Amino acid sequence: MPAPKGNTYAKGNGRPSKYDSNYHDKLVFKLCLLGATDKQIADIFEISEVTLNAWKNTQSSFLKSLKKGKEEADSKVAKSLFQRATGYEHEEDKLFQYDGNILSERITKHYPPDVVACIFWLKNRQPELWRDKTEIETSNKKTINVIVGDKKTQKNLESLYNEN
């Protein structure tokens, strides 16, 4: 039985979808590799985030491309963070000038571990061991766990609770 006239939301009578698997699947993968968010992807496709989420639910190839692109981008960033945290080296061509001649020499460039990358890595991978956590014992023997970012704030809190 056909849908009643005037009902634009009945199955088959809605506005045609803008989705095109030949175009959108390839493009969403590339956009995710560049770090685009769902909001940015929706803006590029000139659709709402609601529509983008509908495509994820109804178009399995679209969702697969989106996930694959995000996983590949995240993997690349994780590898770079790991290299920064542990130190790394790479070869490069160094150019020199000698007696008016340009010379090229292959060298190995070394990068030591980056302390900030180490801290970030450890705080996220092992938060129970590496987070900024301070235990303060009050006069009534209650222990308060406080997570603070700097020693000055930590000392102020300790003195406040020790006064009581």
- Residue in 138, 137, 85, 139 with CA at minimum distance from that of residue 113: 85
**Domain(s) of CATH 1.10.10: residues in the chain:** 21-84
User: Taking the model in full, what pTM does it have?
Assistant: 0.60
Q: Is 24 exposed, middle or buried (0-12, 13-18, 19+ CB in 10 A)?
A: buried
* pLDDT band (50, 70, 90) for residue 3: very low
Please give the structure tokens belonging to residue 121. 């890595």
Residue type, 30: K
Average pLDDT value for the chain: 82
Of 1.10.10, 3.30.70, 3.40.50, 3.30.43, which CATH number belongs to 21-84? 1.10.10
